[in-house]
């Protein structure tokens, strides 16, 4: 009797192109225990015709943990140009993250939800693909970009020492106060001394 296969229920959505982005996606794909490659190139097992996608953008990799009788899965980023969000964690080139029962993945405008139904077979697994007409993942603005260039929220603020402090007044306030007080005091004493000398001269 054939052992039951692990089934990955994969739901897909694209933020701008909709279902047309997934015209080459089959409804069912059975794969062995080698990495399943996703990209726009001919070598990808799952081909997505998206201009921002690398030829090999990411891989879904089955493996067996020590002492486990079931397949486990991780997702690895293969693109130099972009990054992949997996369950809120950003991964970049050659970084990988293990998958749990339900997983939310974002890359190049694609939203992907992977639900894993574990089977006992260690020789293969099956992906069943579904298309969603509406967004699957509602995420913070910081996750909108998947390019290497950091978003404004990710960049630390640059502070110029010559700039007017404004709301950063505490960065320069104390040093200015300490430097200016002796100068003002010395200038005041000098003016008083000059006035006294002029007065004394007039009296003479």
Within-domain flag for 161: no
pLDDT at 196 > cutoff 80: no
pLDDT for the residue numbered 166? 34
Residue spans of beta strands (DSSP E) within the chain: 6-14, 28-32, 36-39, 46-47, 58-63, 72-77, 84-86, 89-91, 96-98, 102-107, 110-117, 124-131
Q: Are both 126 and 174 inside the same structural domain? A: no
More confident residue, 121 or 143: 121
Structural domains in the chain (count): 2
Within-domain flag for 149: no
Q: Are both 81 and 125 inside the same structural domain? A: yes
Q: Are both 63 and 121 inside the same structural domain? A: yes
Mean pLDDT of the chain: 77
Q: Are both 109 and 172 inside the same structural domain? A: no
| % of the chain at pLDDT higher than 90 | 56
Within-domain flag for 113: yes
Report whether 59 contacts 37 (CB < 8 A). yes
> What would the mean pLDDT of 1-23 be, rounded to a whole number?
88
Q: CATH number of the domain that 38 lies in? A: 2.60.200.20
Report whether 17 contacts 131 (CB < 8 A). no
pLDDT in tens, 46-76: 999 898 899 999 999 999 998 888 999 999 9
Q: Are both 131 and 177 inside the same structural domain? A: no
pLDDT at 41 > cutoff 60: yes
Q: What are phi and psi of 50, to 5 degrees?
A: -130, 130
Q: Are both 15 and 86 inside the same structural domain? A: yes
pLDDT for the residue numbered 76? 98
Q: Are both 122 and 170 inside the same structural domain? A: no
pLDDT for the residue numbered 165? 37
CA dist 79 and 37 (Å) reads 12
Within-domain flag for 1: no
pLDDT for the residue numbered 2? 57
Q: Are both 14 and 64 inside the same structural domain? A: yes
Where residue 128 falls among pLDDT bands split at 50, 70, 90? very high
pTM confidence score: 0.68
Domain that holds residue 197: 166-203
């Amino acid at each position: 009797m054939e052992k039951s296969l692990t089934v990955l229920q994969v739901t897909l959505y694209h933020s701008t192109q909709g279902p047309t982005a997934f015209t080459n996606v089959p409804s069912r794909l059975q794969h062995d225990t080698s990495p399943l490659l996703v990209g726009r190139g001919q070598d990808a097992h799952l081909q997505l015709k998206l201009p921002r996608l690398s030829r090999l953008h990411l891989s879904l990799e089955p493996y067996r943990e020590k002492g486990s009788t079931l397949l486990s899965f991780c997702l690895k980023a293969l693109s130099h140009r972009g990054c992949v969000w997996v369950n809120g964690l950003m991964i970049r080139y050659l970084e990988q993250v293990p998958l749990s029962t339900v997983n939310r993945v974002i890359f190049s405008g694609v939203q992907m939800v992977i639900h894993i139904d574990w089977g006992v077979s260690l020789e293969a697994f099956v992906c069943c693909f579904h298309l969603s007409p509406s967004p699957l993942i509602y995420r913070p603005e910081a996750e909108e970009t998947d390019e290497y260039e950091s978003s404004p929220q990710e960049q630390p603020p640059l502070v110029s020492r010559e700039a007017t402090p404004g709301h950063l007044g505490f960065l320069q306030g104390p040093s200015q106060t300490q430097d200016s007080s002796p100068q003002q005091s010395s200038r005041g004493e000098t003016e008083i001394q000059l006035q006294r000398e002029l007065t004394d001269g007039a009296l003479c």
